[in-house]
Structure formats: structure tokens, C-alpha cells
Amino acid sequence: MVGLSEGEKEFIKGGIAQDLRSDGRKRYTYRPIYVETGVIPQANGSARVRLGATDVIASVKAELGKPSALQPDKGKVALFIDCSPTAEPTFEGRGGEELSAELSSALQRCLLGSKSGAGAGIDLSSLIVVEGKVCWDLYIDGLVISSDGNLLDALGAAIKAALSNTGIPTVHVVAGASNDEQPEVDISDEEFLHFDTSGVPVIVTLTKVGKHYIVDATSEEESQMSSAVSISINRQGHICGMTKRGGSGIDPSVILDMISVANFVSRQLIEKLDSEISAAEANEEDS
């Protein structure tokens, strides 16, 4: 919990109203973002993202499984976020558990769309090996190391970077199995397919402080918010998901304006993230 005096609260709100935040940024400007890839050797893909003093890690583990009967033409993705108690004292005990569940649920909506798969930013059909019989199951884990606000955007960026770093082994189906039998598969130790992240969105969270919305809010700014809306947008400008937190309601007439702002900001964020991921993967290959 951020403890601020009345003077500090007014300073934060006044700065946002004048489009000059306490750290010198404008309302729609992100803090510097840094990306490392391949930080967990045991995973199929992993990445670390630092957004100001917010520091998170995401890892991807791929295992062969069986598609669900309701979606035989799609693989499966499971998302879990862990908020380390060392990141924030309030993460101790139930506080951390509740935030972990909230972040996991929000990321699920933003990256995977509805339960039917509509609007999914991750193409689940690309995870199919044999329709109705064999698929890849992706287990995505996120860890919050240090928290200074805007965790959802940082975790979304880390997951996108980890998926870009993910190599899925090539699978050869052994011929001869009948339609009723579970086919035998041969998993290659040498051939890998890189996960296509072209449709994976970034998440832009607009946080309302006073009468204005800001992006990439710090913990101090979040302590003064009335509400926040997170919108996931892909490279084509399509909305993949949306989630809201905070008790204050939002006028429907404002939603379109927020989407327009998120669309504009997302283009800059995607460009910066692409550049950071490319540089990180180049460094990983050189090391």
C-alpha cells in the first residue's frame, strides 16, 4: 500500500491534469522498457521485462496433450501468475493470492479472448498436431519480481516476448494408427518451430486519475485512481480483449475515445517491444 500525504496526492493529480507527471512523462508516455530473453534455460521460451521499477518474468513450457472434445481443432493454453512477497509487502498471504488470481484472469481475457476462443490473440489452432487426438499444451507462468505499477501491461509484454522466444519441437506422426487409436508420435530433439507471435497483442492499461486517463501508471499514481481499463490490441489494430478494475463506472461515450487512445499508444508500444525483443534475441545468440 502506498502511503501519501495530502500534498503528495494533490501534486500527482495536479501534474496529470497539466500533462506533466511527477516523473516528467506526459499522460500517454510509457517508462523505458527493457527485455531479456532465454532467462530460464529449462523452459521452451522465457523473457524478463522491466518497465521502470516494475520487473517481471514469463516462461512457456510446451507439453503434448489431447484436445478437448468441445474444441478438437485447438490446442490449450494455461496461464498462472505468481506475485512474489519480496516484490511488495502486501503480496504476503491472501493479498498476493488474490492479486495473482486477478492478474491471471485479466491476462486470460486479454490474450485468449472468450471461452469459445473468439478474439484470441494466441492462435490455438496452430497448436494442433492431429485434430481431435494430439495437440500442444502451453503452460505460461509469470512471476512478479518487483512492483511499481502497471503489472498487467508488463506481464503482457513479457508473455509476448517469451512466446517469441519459444521453440516447439517438430512432431512426426507415425503412420499406421487407425482412426480410433491414439497415434504414435516422434518428437524431434533437433528441429524446432518458432511460435508465431504476429497475432499476439500488447496490453495498454488506461488509468483514470481525476478527470484524465494515463498509461503506464506507477504505484503512487495507481493509489489515486478511480478506475482502470486494460485493452489488448494486436499489430493489425484489432481488439483482442478488454478488462476493467476499480469501483468507478465509465460513461459508454468515453469507451470509444479510450479505444482510440489505446490503439494509438499500442502502435508505439509494439514498435518498441519488437525492437527490444530483436536486440535481446541477438544478444542471446551472441552469448
At 201-253, the pLDDT tens digits run: 999 999 999 889 999 999 999 999 988 999 999 998 888 888 888 776 777 77
The one-letter code for the residue type at 110 is: C
Q: What integer pLDDT is reported at residue 287 of this predicted model?
A: 67
Q: What integer pLDDT is reported at residue 240 of this predicted model?
A: 86
Q: Report which secondary-structure segment, H or E, holds 283.
A: helix 252-286
Q: Please name every residue paired with 60 in a beta bridge, in sequence order, or none if there are none.
A: 45, 140
Regions of the chain with pLDDT less than 50: none
Whole-number Cα distances in Å, 127 to 59, 143, 239: 17, 24, 22
Whole-number Å distance between alpha carbons of 139 and 192: 18
State in Å, rounded, how far the first CA of the chain is from the last one: 40
Q: What integer pLDDT is reported at residue 114 of this predicted model?
A: 55
Q: What integer pLDDT is reported at residue 28 of this predicted model?
A: 96
Q: What integer pLDDT is reported at residue 180 of this predicted model?
A: 64
Of the candidates 280, 286, 282, which has an alpha carbon nearest to the alpha carbon of residue 39? Answer: 280
Q: What integer pLDDT is reported at residue 111 of this predicted model?
A: 83
The single residue listed with the C-alpha cell 494486436 is 234
Q: What integer pLDDT is reported at residue 123 of this predicted model?
A: 82
